[in-house]
Structure 1
C-alpha cells in the first residue's frame, strides 16, 4: 500500500510536469463542503512578500480547515518542480500549488487530483482566489518618515510581530537610502521583538528630496527566505536657517519680463506649489507679474505661459504687493494700478488655479478702486471665512488728514461690499494733522467668537487698528480701536503680523533701521511676557540698515521674521531672517545665534527679501520657509530661497 501511494505521488508530479489537462470545475472552487472560500487576514504591520512555499502551505492549511472531507489534516508538504503539494491518503486526493515559474503552468495556480476529482489534475484557480498569504512575521517602524541632519544621526525602532509559530532571527537591510546616508547592521535575534535602526548622514551628504528607501526583513524558512518590504521616506536636511539646496540648487532666480522684475509677495498652495507675485517691466510699461514653482523647484509649466504670467491693468504702471489663496484654489492678488485721471488706485486681480484671469470676478478678473482723489495703494490682502476679500493699504487725503489707513472689502464676485464702512471703503487717520499712516499687513483675529479685522503698519513707528466686521473701529482695542507709538520712534513701522492661538498678535518690521517686533494682547496692550516689556529689536546688519518685512508663526510657537540687511558699509541688501522663541528671545538653534543672512545676488549686488511663507510637506517631518524678493544681476529678477527650520 505504501509503495502504491509513493508511486501515485510520483505519478502526480509526472502528470503535472507533462502538463496534462483536467476538467475545468471542481468541488474546492465551488465550496464542495457548503462553505464559502474565505480570505485569510492580510498582514497589518507591513506589506509582505511571502515565500512561495510558505504561501502554498497556508493555502493547504486553509483547505484542510475549510474542506476537511477532502483534505483531512495534516500530511507533510512535498515538492516536485514546479509544484509544492500535499497528498491526503485517507481520501486519495492531491492538492498542489505552482510555486516555480515555467514548464507551462501559471505561477500560483492551484490544482487537485485523485479521489472524487478523478485521475487527472484539475485546475481550480489561483492562490489569490482563496487566501491572502500572511508572512511569518511583520515589521512595524516607529516612524514612516525621517529627516537626518547633515553630520547627524536619527534612531528609529523596528518592532517585530511573529506569526505561524515563527521564533527565528530576522535580519533588516535598508536599500535606496539618499546619497551619504548609511544604516547600522540590524538583526532581531530569535525570540526578540525589536531592534534600533540608526541612520547616519555624512557631514558632506547633499540635501535630498524625500527619498523612498526600503527596509527589507529577511528570515530563513527551510530552503528559502521570507522577505518583507517596508517603505521608509528619508530626507537629508540642513541645520535650521540653512538654505535648502534640494530646491532649485539653493537659489532660484527667474527673469520674467525684459527688464526689472521685483518679487513682493509669496504664497504656498496646499499642494506645496509656490507663487511669487510682483511687477515686471515690458516694452509698454511695468505690470503685475506672477511665477509659480513646483513644490521642489522648477517652473510649473501648467501655470500661465511656461510658469509665468504678466497682467496689464492700467495704461503703463501696475504692481502686485500681496497675494492670498482662496479655499477653492483661486489666487487673489492686490496692489496698485496707475489710472488716467486718478493716479494710483487699489487694484485687485483674481486668477483661476491655472493662471487665467477669473471672468467671474470684477471686469474680466480685474477690479480697480479709487478711494480718494490722489494716490491710493494696496499693500495687503486677506480672505475672510465667508469668502469676502479685504484689502488694506493707504490713501492720500491731502490737506485733510494726510496719508491714512485705507481698507476696502469686496464680495466674492469683486463688487464693493456696501455693508462695510462707507460703500465698501474705510479710511482711518491715526497721526494728527497731515501725518502719514499706511497699512502694510492684515490679520483676521477671532474675538468673542467673531472674526474681526486687524490692520498694521505705520511710518515712523508701529501702528495697529482693529475693526468690527462692519468696518467701524473696535473700541475694545487700544484707544478707540487704535494703537500707535509702541517704540516712541520716528523711524520705522510694522510690515507684517502673525496671530497667536489666544488672539494676541505679533507685529514685525523695523525701528531705527533694525529688525523689530512687538506682541499685543487681545485688547491692544503690550504683552510684558514677550521680549523686553513686550518689544524686541535686533541690529542684524551690525550697524547698517536692516528691516523685517514679514513674519510667520511656526506650529511650535516660534516666530520667523524675514526681510533684508545691508551688507558692510554699502547700501546693497541681502536676504535676512531671524527666529524668536515664543517669549520674544532669539532662538540660538537658528542660524548664528538666531540670525541668518543669505546673499542671493553675486558679489556686492543688491538683493532684498519681501515675502515669507511656510511650506508644509507630508513627505518630510518638518516645515520649511520660503523667502521671496529680487536679486540684481544684469537687472533685477525674481529671487526665491527655501530655508530649513
Structure 2
C-alpha cells in the first residue's frame, strides 16, 4: 500500500501566501469571530473560580454544547465544564456547569468525549503501570456520578501492543459502543527506534475492548524510513452507515515538523480500500506544526477537513480543504487564512462542532495580569450537499482567483508516494 504526500510548501515559497476571494463582498469569511458566543465570540472563566489549570481541551456534542477538561497542577482532580451554545456555563450540567472528580488520581486526563444518547461524559487519557502506559477512561453522568457499568465502577483500561498509549478522542455509535482513537508507541520488538502509530479501538457498551468484532483494535504504522514516521489520530467523523474517517498528525522523527493524515474505515473497523486505495493520505500544509483539527463528511461521500498550523501562536494559520470520495484532494474551494486570537490567548485545542463552527480553546491572560480558561468560536464551514465549494456558515460560497487556481493546480502535480503498514489486532495483541 502507498500513502501520498502532496507537497504544498514548494508552491507557497514560489507564489507566496494565497488568499480566498469571496464571490460577494457581503459574504462572511468562515474564519470570522462568531459574536453570538460568549462576549463578542470569546468565553472566559477565571481560573480562581475552578483552581489552577494545567491543560485545556475542547469537545462538542450534537447540540453544539462545548465541553472542556483540565486538571489541577498535581493532576489529582479533573475538571469538566459544559458551555451552552451561547458560551456561558450550563447550569444543567454538574454544579453550575462544572464537574470535579478524583475518581482515578493515578491517571492523567486531558481529553473528553460525550455520549449524545445519555449525555454522559467520558474523560480520556492514560495511566502508568509496571509495563508502561495504558489507555484509561472514566465515564460520568451529567451530574458527575460515576457510571458503574463502565469498566470497573466507572474506570476502564485498554491495553495496546506498545508501552505508551494515549487516547485523543472517541465517538459513540447508536448501539452504545464507542470508537476510541489516539496514539501508541511501537513495540520494542518491532522497532529499534522510539515512535508512534495511530490506533482505533472499538469499545462495547461496558467500556471494554469489543472482542466480538473481527477487528476491535487497528494500528496504522508509518515505516521508519519515511520522514514523517510518527502518527497520532486526533479527530473522527462517523457516517450514518457506520463507516468513518479518522485523521490526525504525522510527525517527523524528532517531532520538529508535522503534516496532516487521513484514512477511512468501513463499518466493521477494517480499512476501506475505496478511499485512496486503502492508504493513508498525507498532506503538507507548508507549516512546521500542521494539525488536523476536525472533519465533516459531505453528502457525496467526500470529507471536508480543517487543518491548523499553530507555530506562530496566537496567530493561527487555518486551512480548509475537501477530499473526494476516492481520497484525492479537491482544489475547488480550498481556503487559507491567518487568524489572530484575542490578546493573551494561546491555542491548545482546536475542534469543530456539528455545524462546522471552529472552536479554539486555551489559557487567556488579560492586560491586568488575570488568568482565564478561554474559548473562541469562529464561523467555520458547513458540510456540502453537492460536494463543491465550502461556505462560511450559510452566507454564500466563494470562488478562487486565477493565481490561486494556478497554485492549486501545481499542488495536485507535486506528489511523492511511499509505503506504510497496517496492523490489525485483538485484545491479546497483534495478529
**Shorter-chain TM-score tier:** 0.5 to 0.7
Aligned CA RMSD, in angstroms, stands at 3.4
Tell me how far 1:352 sits from its aligned partner: 1.8
Q: Which runs of 5+ in 2 are unaligned?
A: 1-29, 251-257, 312-316, 380-392, 394-431
* Partner residue of 1:258 out of 33, 51, 67: 51
* Partner residue of 1:409 out of 202, 205, 219: 202
2:232 matched residue in structure 1:
438
* Partner residue of 2:327 out of 524, 534, 539: 524
* Partner residue of 1:397 out of 154, 163, 186: 186
Tell me how far 1:614 sits from its aligned partner: 4.4
* Partner residue of 1:419 out of 193, 206, 212: 212
The 5 A counterparts of 1:167-206 are none
Superposed CA offset, 1:175-217 (max 9, x none): xxxxxxxxxxxxxxxxxxxxxxxxxxxxxxxxxxxxxxxxxxx
Q: 1: CA distance between counterparts of 2:310 and 2:375? A: 27
Q: 2: CA distance between counterparts of 1:498 and 1:504? A: 9
Superposed CA offset, 1:485-539 (max 9, x none): 45588752423212112121122223694433332111211224343xxxx444x
Distance 1:379 1:636, change over 3 A: farther
Distance 1:630 1:501, change over 3 A: farther
Q: 2: CA distance between counterparts of 1:615 and 1:476? A: 25
Tell me how far 1:353 sits from its aligned partner: 2.7
Contact residue 269 and residue 325 of structure 1 kept, 8 A:
no
Matched residue of 2:182: which SS? strand
Contact residue 37 and residue 85 of structure 2 kept, 8 A:
no
* Partner residue of 1:356 out of 132, 145, 158: 145
1:465 matched residue in structure 2:
263
Q: 2: CA distance between counterparts of 1:406 and 1:413? A: 20
Q: 1: CA distance between counterparts of 2:94 and 2:310? A: 41
What TM-score, normalized to structure 1?
A: 0.45
Distance 1:395 1:471, change over 3 A: same
Distance 1:491 1:631, change over 3 A: closer
What TM-score, normalized to structure 2?
A: 0.66
Tell me how far 1:257 sits from its aligned partner: 4.4
Matched residue of 1:479: which SS? helix
Q: 1: CA distance between counterparts of 2:331 and 2:306? A: 16
Distance 1:469 1:624, change over 3 A: closer
Contact residue 36 and residue 86 of structure 2 kept, 8 A:
no
Matched residue of 1:359: which SS? coil
Contact residue 293 and residue 350 of structure 2 kept, 8 A:
no
Distance 1:609 1:345, change over 3 A: same
Q: Is residue 2:173 matched to residue 1:384?
A: yes
Distance 1:468 1:432, change over 3 A: farther
Distance 1:330 1:511, change over 3 A: closer
Larger relative contact order (Cα-Cα within 8 Å, sequence gap ≥ 6)? 2
Contact residue 361 and residue 412 of structure 1 kept, 8 A:
yes
2:349 matched residue in structure 1:
610
Contact residue 292 and residue 307 of structure 2 kept, 8 A:
yes
Q: 2: CA distance between counterparts of 1:436 and 1:287? A: 31
Contact residue 392 and residue 439 of structure 1 kept, 8 A:
yes
Tell me how far 1:484 sits from its aligned partner: 2.2
Q: Which runs of 5+ in 1 are unaligned?
A: 1-238, 541-575, 577-596, 617-622
Superposed CA offset, 1:207-246 (max 9, x none): xxxxxxxxxxxxxxxxxxxxxxxxxxxxxxxx99345377
Q: 2: CA distance between counterparts of 1:454 and 1:246? A: 29
How many residues matched?
329
Contact residue 262 and residue 637 of structure 1 kept, 8 A:
no
